[in-house]
Amino acid sequence: MVCSFSITTFSQTIDDVDIREIKSEFIEVVFKGNPNLYGLLFPIKINYGFNKKLKVFRKKSNVIYEGEKVVLKTENDIINFFTAFGFDVIEEVDRSKTYGCIRNGSGTIGTADMIVLRLKNNNN
């Protein structure tokens, strides 16, 4: 009697990079946008080594989770995605800035939102 079976394994990728294969001890996730606007933060950039970066897109998903394309829309989506595969959140930094120009009593003021999330890679 011959028995055969197959095990299906899925890679968890962003831009064709399997996040479990990242060798850096720490990664940095940078969110830009307005987190108060429907909880969406775009674009999302992931820095994981010397000049190695990934981008997460909202409209055209480049993230594969358990064999399916998914859209990571919020900070919680990113945290849940990475912690499911051996990463721990170690720090969150708000680097938002207020900018503007006022002349003769009038002008414009705006905010540039930026949140940085640092994660420790426990896969090494």
85-124 pLDDT, tens digit per residue, is 899 999 988 877 777 777 777 777 777 778 889 999 998 7
Structure token digits, residue 19: 């996040």
User: Per the domain annotation, does 63 fall within a domain?
Assistant: yes
Q: Is residue 8 part of a domain?
A: no
Q: Cis peptide leading into 43, omega within 30 of 0?
A: yes
Edge-first strand order for the sheet with 63-65 is 17-18, 13-14, 63-65, 68-70
pLDDT in tens, 7-47: 445 568 787 888 888 899 999 988 876 555 555 556 788 88
Domain that holds residue 61: 13-121
Q: Tell me what the mean pLDDT of segment 38-64 comes to.
A: 74
What pTM does this model have?
A: 0.71
Residue 7 lies in a domain: no
Residue 4 lies in a domain: no
State how many domains the chain has. Answer: 1
For residue 20, tell me if it sits in a domain: yes
pLDDT (tens digit, 9 = 90+) per residue, 68-83?
A: 888 887 788 889 888 9
DSSP state of 74: S
**What pLDDT, on the 0 to 100 scale, is given for residue 2?**
60
Structural domain includes residue 1: no
Inside any domain, residue 114: yes
Position 2, amino acid: V
In terms of pLDDT, which residue wins out, 2 or 5? Answer: 2
In a domain, 5, yes or no: no
